[in-house]
Structure 1
Amino acid sequence: MNYSIKDLEQLSGIKAHTLRIWEQRYEVLKPKRTDTNIRYYDDDDLKLVLNIALLNEHGYKISKIADMSWDDMRREVLNVTEKHQSNSEQIQALTISMIDLDEERFEKIMSTNFLHQGFENTMISIVFPFLQRIGVLWQTGAITPAHEHFISNLIRQKIIVAIDGLVAKYTASSPKFMLFLPEGELHEIGLLFTNYLIRVRGGRVVYLGQSLPFSDLCETYRIYRPSYLFSIITTTPAAEIQSYVDNLSKNFFESTIILSGFQVITQDLDLPENVLIAYNIADLPLLLSKLENRINVV
């Protein structure tokens, strides 16, 4: 993939002006040129800049970095990410593993953070901010859909393993939740993590997953009769949101409906009495703990 210097700036956080100075003074980057003489950078240049950015943030002088071999630089980056546990460093490290399609590195980063912060805190403080960053990079064309699919599937696997490892805590009196994504909605990671949060707190869940037709939702609701419905809406056209929310409220008036996602939190919706909004993934643990005090918070 080809990148402009502005793409490198957005991905690394290093100003384009600074990158040009480093090019001229230290020759750390050597841009290519198209047949029409337009400068561009490739995937190797992007990986190099991401590694330089991380080292530079930790006090390594650019003059020293410029003298490093690729193997030396990679080794120093791994040392830094293992020693330092700030969220920004871990997000940068995950970004590098995504660009490099490096599953082994991803696994090491995640395992280290699970050990130090626990699964839930790692997801909230590192993984979801990282996913937000991916969204911006994908929308601006700085990464390919393949990069996004690669890392999303790895994260999805981690959540599924965490759910499978839970010991059931619910009882006959535990609140019942039904989790689903509207028809056409495929971004499942947030819904999977909500499934984990509810189960670890003793709630009972029917998980219906991606792209559920409304008629199927109604039929499942009739059978299961949940106390709560939860959904995330990120890609549905904004003009349809209010009517969709009203339809949910009308059809499931006996339950509390919790909604999240870009198309919900960015709209000035007229919320029915039985509809709540979770504005951020970090809000969910507290919101779940407050739902009529019916979930045992751990």
Structure 2
Amino acid sequence: MDIFWGILILEMLSLVSNKSQMLVKTKFSIKDLENLSGIKAHTIRIWEKRYGILKPSRTETNIRAYHLESLKKLLNVSFLYQNGYKISKIAALDKKELKNLVAELAITKTEEHSIFNFKMAMFEFNQQLFAKTYNALLEERTFPEVFQDIFIPLLTDLGILWQTGTIDPCHERFISEMVKQKIVLNLESQYHKNELKAPPTFALFLPYREIHEIGLVYANYLCVSHGVNTIYLGGNISFNSLKEVIKHHEDIQFLSYLTVEPSHQTIQDFCELYNATIGPNNKNELWLMGGKAKEAVNENLPENIKLFTNIPQLTTALETLKKR
């Protein structure tokens, strides 16, 4: 799975959620349950009728409505069913037996169950469940592995769920902020583990209106974990402001993460404006990441502009710098 796709989904969700009314969804349609569980609505209806798996309430127009407890149960049922258990056997389990069997299977299905737990943490706004699941993953994986193997598929799923109207903006914001916290915490730990090398130093920034910074924060983590000095500027930075950084650093390069910007010009125009503002010698490289960078791979860009369409490319470039 492309790691940038997951970050792109998250950034776009954040952009929309800032403009949306924050409502908490407590009732779900059968279509919502289909989107969340992967079990077709037709199958859910059969399970209800034949096995009594769920007992939905009905609206005034006789449409099924499900509460959070029904969702949680169906996700447990789906987890077992998709791992080979027969629905007849699952239906015969009581609440405790169902929970215990899921916990037993989770030992060998770590990724699937972790994503399941993170979704449950999202719907319950349960920071403790998020932290418990995350810490359990760290016992066997590095943070980059957790980010790529778990967080990115999770964020991609959330993108699909948001597009179908299954989750609310507040659910997405909860998860996005929890993920961002973990990146920042791991970034801080890198300063103690890695001896930062001599120049070049990277200044990381987002242009105007590109205000969501999960991708940039993770890029900063990667730079520091490879021993590269960084100056983290964050969002809404103009090219003129970058000139102030150059005054204090002779060997400086810039890195930006472009998801929705530039929206009114091409990447080529964006890069030409960068060079026109920073100086005629083009000695300060600009590294670009994100969805907009991927779209520009075939454009004729100045020599000092470097595009990175995935994390392995960026990692390789940082390792090359480290060997200088």
Same fold (TM over 0.5): yes
TM superposition shift of 1:94: 2.2
Deviation sequence 1:193-250 (CA, Å, 0-9, x none):
2111111111000011233344433433443355432211223364434333432344
Identify unmatched segments of 5+ residues in structure 1.
none
Deviations 1:143-183 (A, max 9, x none): 11111121122211111111111224113x24311111222
AA aligned opposite 1:295 = K
Whole-Å Cα distance in 1 between the matches of residues 246 and 41 of structure 2? 54
Where does residue 146 of structure 1 map in the other structure?
A: 170
> Are 1:244 and 2:270 counterparts?
yes
Per the TM alignment, residue 282 of structure 1 is displaced from its structure 2 partner at its CA by 4.6
- Structure-to-structure mapping, 1:155-174, within 5 angstroms: 155-166=179-190, 167=192, 168-171=194-197, 173-174=198-199
> Tell me, what secondary structure is at the counterpart of 1:116?
coil
Distance in 2 separating the partners of 1:132 and 1:224 = 38
Cα distance, 1:283–1:125 mapped onto 2, change above 3 Å: farther
- Does 2:306 correspond to 1:276? yes
SS of aligned partner of 2:70: helix
Correspondence for 1:259: 288
Give the TM-score, by structure 2 length.
0.79
**CA offsets 1:75-113 (integer angstroms, 9 cap, x no match):** 43333334433x344333322332232222222221222
The structure, 1 or 2, with the larger RCO (C-alpha pairs under 8 Å, 6+ apart) is 2
- Preserved CA contact (<8 Å) 2:76 2:98: yes
Amino acid at match of 2:273: N
TM-score (norm 1): 0.85
Give yes or no for contact 1:175–1:295 (8 Å, CA) kept in 2. no
Tell me the number of residue pairs that the alignment of Structure 1 and Structure 2 aligns. 292
- Relative distance call for 1:21 and 1:106 in structure 2 (3 A) is same
1:97 aligns with 2:121: yes
Distance 1:70 1:250, change over 3 A: farther
153-162 or 5-14, which moves further after superposition? 5-14
Change beyond 3 A, Cα 1:294–1:90: same
Amino acid at match of 2:66: Y
Alignment of 1:135-214 (within 5 A): 135-166=159-190, 167=192, 168-171=194-197, 173-214=198-239
Which region of structure 1 is more displaced relative to structure 2, 110-119 or 216-225?
Answer: 216-225
Instruction: Give the AA of the match of 1:260.
Output: M
Post-superposition offset of 1:71: 4.3
Report sequence identity in percent.
35
1:295 matched to 2:322? The reply is yes
Moved more, 253-262 or 190-199: 253-262
Does residue 36 of structure 1 match 2:61? yes
Structure 2 SS opposite 1:41: strand
Q: CA deviation at 1:39?
A: 2.9
Runs of at least 5 residues in structure 2 that lack an aligned partner in the other structure: 1-24
Which residue, out of 20, 23, 41, partners 1:16? Answer: 41
Q: Distance in 2 between matches of 1:193 and 1:52?
A: 35
